[in-house]
Chain A
Amino acid sequence: MPLTELTTVSTPEVEPRLEQPSDATRPTVRQVFDEHARFVWRTVRHLGVAESDIADVCQDVFVAVHRKLAGFEGRSGLRTWLYAICLRVCSEHRRRAYNRRERAHAEPLSDGPLDSAQQPDTQVEQRHRVLALLDLLDEDKRVVLVLYEIEGLTMKEVAEVVGCPMQTAYSRLHAARERLAAALAGEKKHKP
């Protein structure tokens, strides 16, 4: 059964692998945006970018897409290619954010969700909970978990995006799940 039938939220249709797209068949930046922007945003959020920076980082992702799209050769699926760009941009952003924070002696970078005023408390609360849990993970494990469990990539795609052997991706997923399960079990134990 496809993942989309098992979950209440649709993930983008996984497109057939593009084989050496020509200029005529290569999607435009607009098409990539229309189809994938929501998922790029979600990925950026779950990879640990502060709420107030998500729009900036997404913008950087699509500027990179624009720059690189002509060179997209279809060796990987478009979605895999796009997630790889996301990862690079997020990683670069975190490095810059870290440097800024170091220079500014650590003022918090996030001021909370941009649309928090319009969102129900439960949704914001749930988001904070998920993000707090994900923050417990090392970056490499977090990426694997987010791509597999939230974004719905296959493990093969995850390994491809991350650029690691399949076995490594499996190990990271396993470790990430264990860490989060332990954290949740700990929470439960400490609840009155």
Chain B
Amino acid sequence: MIDPDDPPRLSATPQDSALGDLLRGAQGDLPSERELAALSLRLGATLGAGAGLTTGGTAARTGGAFAKLAAATVVTVGAVGLWLAHGRPAGVAATSAAAPHASAQESAAASKEVAEPSATSLPAAPDSAAPSVAASAAVSTSKPVMAKSTLAVDEASLLERARRELNANPAAALALTNEHSTRFPNGVLAQEREVIAIAALRKLGRGAEADRRAASFALKYPGSAHARAVSTATQ
């Protein structure tokens, strides 16, 4: 916004000025799509209530329940840890190569969970997740050209479900990550998917697979923000 009484902005001054150049550069220093999608994912329920924009089918939540959900989201971010925690680069984790093979059991487990949210689910679970999948699928077939950000939020919604399943039903979480890799082969949240998948494999006692995927992750995403989370998940 411009106020005629304001002094000229260095960042908007056309003539050469080292400081002006730097400030203009700073204006362009915005987060990547992936960072924004990950943030959206972290905020999960906090953004979901009554939003109705690009939540990818997440059910709206209201009132006092929503306040609890928001708080729960924040708490679980810390508790569940993993990729939601702000990892510092260290260097470990999973691959996307191993991703896409959901076993029938995993799929069944995921479907069951989707249809019947477990009583132990975190309160943040909006799990009318089936509509989410349906809605997402419908969108992706009927609108081949979709806004990048909408896709990212759709991705985020799917992975948020996977994250919520992780503790109570790791098979379902793994199946959802497999679904993610099928639906979003070039998704912006591939790293986040891998972190969940590795943790799920660990919980299922499939340590060797988790290790392979973690090693692959480390190669593919050196310096990833999630390295520490994956490292924790593979311990």
User: Which A residues are closer than 8 A to B by beta carbons?
Assistant: 1-3, 6-9, 11, 14, 28-31, 33-34, 37-39, 41-42, 45-46, 52-56, 58-59, 62-63, 66-67, 111-112, 114-119, 123, 126-127, 129-130, 133, 148-150, 152-157, 170, 173, 177, 180-181, 184, 188
Contacts and interface: CB of A to CB of B under 8 A. Distances in A.
A34 B53 contact: yes
B12 interface: yes
18 contacts: A6-B12, A28-B49, A29-B51, A30-B50, A30-B54, A38-B30, A41-B39, A42-B27, A52-B225, A55-B86, A55-B225, A111-B88, A111-B89, A115-B31, A115-B34, A126-B29, A177-B10, A181-B19
Interface of B: 1-3, 5-7, 9-12, 14, 18-19, 22-32, 34-36, 38-40, 42-43, 46-55, 67, 70, 74, 77, 86, 88-89, 149, 221-225
Contacts of B67: 67
Given A3-B12, A155-B6, A129 B22 contact: yes
A83 to B, nearest CB: 13
Contacts of A123: 29
A149 B30 contact: no
Nearest to A32: B47
B191 to A, nearest CB: 10
A30 B225 contact: no
Nearest to B40: A33
Given A6-B9, A42-B31, 9 more contacts: A9-B24, A28-B53, A30-B50, A30-B55, A46-B26, A62-B47, A115-B32, A118-B32, A150-B26
A66 B73 CA distance: 12
Most buried by B among A54, A115, A133: A115
Chain A contact residues, majority secondary structure:
helix
Contacts of A184: 18-19
A7 B39 contact: no
Given A3-B12, A111-B89, A41 B31 contact: yes
A3 B9 contact: yes
A178 B38 CA distance: 38
A181 B17 CA distance: 10
A30 B48 contact: yes
Given A34-B53, A38-B36, A126-B22, A9 B3 contact: no
A56 B224 CA distance: 16
A34 B31 contact: no
A46 to B, nearest CB: 6
Nearest to A166: B5
Contact of A149 (B1, B9, B28, B55): B9
B86 A53 contact: yes
B26 A55 contact: no
B27 A115 contact: no
Contacts of A39: 30
B10 A149 contact: yes
Contact of B22 (A41, A118, A130): A130
Given A8-B28, A41-B35, A150-B26, A28 B11 contact: no
Nearest to B32: A115
A6 B12 CA distance: 6
A37 B39 contact: yes
B3 A154 contact: yes
B39 A58 contact: yes
Contact of B35 (A28, A30, A115): A115
B1 A153 contact: yes
